[in-house]
Amino acid sequence: MTTISQSVRNFETWLAGELGGDLVKDDLLEKHEKMRSDDFVFLRATYWRWCEIILDICPELGRAPEVLAIGDTHLENFGTWRDSEGRLVWGVNDFDDAAVMPYALDLVRLAASAILARGEDGPSVRMIGELILGGYRRGLENPLPVILERDHKWLRKALMLPNSERREFWEKYEMLAPGKTKAPAAYIQALADALPSGSGPFTAKPRSAGTGSLGRPRFVAYAEWQGGPVLREAKALVSSAWSLHHRPLDGTIRAGEIAAGRARSADPHYRVCDRILVRRISPNSRKIEIDKHPEILLSPTMLELMGFEIANCHSNDAAAAAAILQDLQARGSEWLHEAARAAASSVSAEQKAYARAR
Residue 119 has pLDDT above 80, yes or no: no
Return the pLDDT at 358: 65
List, for residues 315-347, the tens digit of each pLDDT value: 998 889 999 999 999 998 899 999 999 999 999
List, for residues 136-147, the tens digit of each pLDDT value: 999 999 999 999
Structural Rg of the chain based on CA atoms:
20
Report the chain's mean pLDDT, rounded to a whole number: 94
The sign of the dihedral angle between the CA atoms of 46, 52, 57, 60 is positive
The sign of the dihedral angle between the CA atoms of 243, 93, 290, 23 is positive
List, for residues 291-304, the tens digit of each pLDDT value: 888 999 999 999 99
Spatial distance between the Cα atoms of 46 and 213, rounded to a whole number of angstroms: 10
Return the pLDDT at 292: 87
Residue 245 has pLDDT above 80, yes or no: yes
CA distances from 230 to 3, 195, 200, 236, 308 (A): 45, 8, 10, 21, 32
Per-residue pLDDT, averaged over 98-113, amounts to: 98
List, for residues 142-193, the tens digit of each pLDDT value: 999 999 999 999 999 889 888 888 999 999 999 999 988 899 999 999 999 9
CA angle 4, 23, 190 (to 5 degrees): 130
Q: Which one-letter amino acid corresponds to residue 303? A: L
Task: Give the three-class secondary structure for 104.
Answer: helix
